[in-house]
Structures are given as C-alpha cells and as structure tokens.
Structure 1
Amino acid sequence: MLLERLQTAVLILGMMFFYFIIMPGQVDHIEDARIVPTTVPSIAIWIIVLAAVFQFFTSKTEVRLNSMLCVRAVICGGFIIACLAIMKRFGFEFGAPILALGVMLGIGERRLHWIVLGSMVIPLGVWFLVEQVLNRVLP
C-alpha cells in the first residue's frame, strides 16, 4: 500500500511540475485565439491530478513490484525518447511513423493493414494536414 501511495504522490507532483514549470514555457500565448492553447493540456492535467488524489485517499490492497513490467516500462520510455530525438533531428515525418510502429507492435497488433495504416498513413497524413495545408510547424 505504501508503494502505491508513493507512486500516486510522485504522479501528482509530476503533474504539478508540468503544469506550473514546463507548460508555461512551452505553450505560446495567442491574442486572438478562440481557445487558448493551454486549455486542453490544463484540463487533462487537472483530470489526472483529481483522479490521482482520489486514488491516494482510497484504501487499497497490497501492491507488489513487478520487475518485468518495470523493465518493459523502461524500454518503452527509452524507445519514446529515441523517437523524439529522431523527430528533433530529422523531423516529424520520419520520427512519428517509427514511434507509431513501435507502439502498435508493443501492444500486440499483428494485422498488416492496420500496421500500415497506423504507422504510415495516419502520421504522414497528420504531417501533410498540419505542415502543408495549415502551414504550422511540427517538431
């Protein structure tokens, strides 16, 4: 029970750090926007925080550390960081399909048509729509 509460406290503190420290420096303020760019991330953060606070104060059974699950989480995090580095160096159109392919294979998707659609067509369609049609910059 102590481990679960510790994880929940770390999640709450991480979300607060993200909300107050990271997000203000990463989101541009647009004067004439109908929706402020921080609206959706702020709502998502507060939903996560409220759910975590609720979980923190509810009684739970004993939680055991699953080392294999931790190893998989570290591998997944490393893969995401590597894909973000590829996106930063080569652009969204090269990094996003690799990331999407890794996520799809990681969750067990094996149908070829869904892998092609999810890892090539959708990321490149997003890139085309955002960068070419809307003239906005992706990472």
Structure 2
Amino acid sequence: MPSLNRLTGVACALAGLCLLLVVIPDQVEAIEDSGVQPATVPTAVAWVLMAAGAFHALFPTGDTPFDGPEALRAGLFLAIVGGGVYLMSEIGFLYVAPGLVLAIMLAMGERRWFVLWIAALPVGIWAILELWLNRPLP
C-alpha cells in the first residue's frame, strides 16, 4: 500500500489539475482591456500545486502514520467550511461569516479574543471587497 505521503502528493497534484481544467475556466472571466488577465495568478498557483504535489508523490520523506482522531477533526473542519460556503450562497456573507468564524475558531480550540474576531474579521473583509474594491459578495 502506498504511504500517506505519496497519497497526499497525488491528491495535491489532482487538486491543481482540477483547478486548472475545471474551476479556473468556469469561475474566472477574461477581460480584454487588462494588462494582466484575472486567470494569471490562479493558473500559476494551480501549476505550482501540481508540481509540488507530483514532487511530493515521487520523493516522499519520512512516514506519516494515520491518526483517526486527527482525520475526524479534519473532516469536521471541512464540514464546517462546506456548510458555511453553502449558507453564504443562500443567506449572504455578512449574516453567515460571524458564525462561521466562531465555529472554525471553536473547532480549532482557539479561545482568545474570539469575540473581537467574530465581529471584526467579516466586517473588515466585507468593507475591503464591497467598499474599496467594488466587488460584490454573495
């Protein structure tokens, strides 16, 4: 059976390939009057992710044992983020983001300053994107 390090490398390479072939063409619009196309940075990141994943799969270092509780914690984190993204598309960013920040911080075990971050982080992101960059949030 292949080591978890090799499987992680293959998963990263496949994620980069998925970004390159599916996500970026579907989600990024081309702009004719732009010096730098909006897909430039995401495409570069996808190539780096594929190359790093392939390198990690071909030349793994050490052995990482499977840790069941850690895998469950990672699954919980993915479920929280997935649920938050779904709720953002249904309800809206400003209504969901504070609860999502709280859920992620509690799942990670962070207890310091969480009241400040729950309020400040979503409002700051909203202000930067909506007011400064004129980019609508869901």
Bin for the TM-score computed over the shorter chain: 0.7 to 0.9
C-alpha contact 2:88 2:96 (8 A) present in aligned 1: yes
Question: Which residue identity is paired with 1:123?
Answer: P
Residue aligning to 2:22: 21
Paired with 1:89 and 1:13, the residues of 2 have a C-alpha distance of 29
Residue aligning to 2:129: 130
Pair 106,39 (structure 1): closer, same or farther in 2 beyond 3 Å: farther
Helix, strand or coil: the match of 2:3?
helix
CA displacement at 1:68 relative to structure 2: 0.9
CA displacement at 1:59 relative to structure 2: 4.2
Paired with 2:129 and 2:44, the residues of 1 have a C-alpha distance of 23
Paired with 1:120 and 1:44, the residues of 2 have a C-alpha distance of 31
**Structure 1: where are the runs of 5+ without partners?**
none
Aligned ranges 1:69-108 → 2 under 5 Å: 69-108=70-109
- TM-score scaled by length of structure 2: 0.84
C-alpha contact 1:86 1:94 (8 A) present in aligned 2: no
Greater mean deviation of Cα atoms: 23-32 or 59-68: 59-68
Q: RMSD value over aligned CA atoms?
A: 2.1
- TM-score scaled by length of structure 1: 0.83
**Structure 2: where are the runs of 5+ without partners?**
none
Pair 92,59 (structure 1): closer, same or farther in 2 beyond 3 Å: closer
Report whether the alignment pairs 1:57 with 2:58. yes
Paired with 1:84 and 1:135, the residues of 2 have a C-alpha distance of 21
C-alpha contact 2:13 2:54 (8 A) present in aligned 1: yes
Paired with 1:103 and 1:65, the residues of 2 have a C-alpha distance of 23
Question: Which residue identity is paired with 2:25?
Answer: P
CA displacement at 1:16 relative to structure 2: 0.1
CA displacement at 1:50 relative to structure 2: 2.1
CA displacement at 1:27 relative to structure 2: 0.8
Residue aligning to 1:43: 44
Residue aligning to 2:120: 121
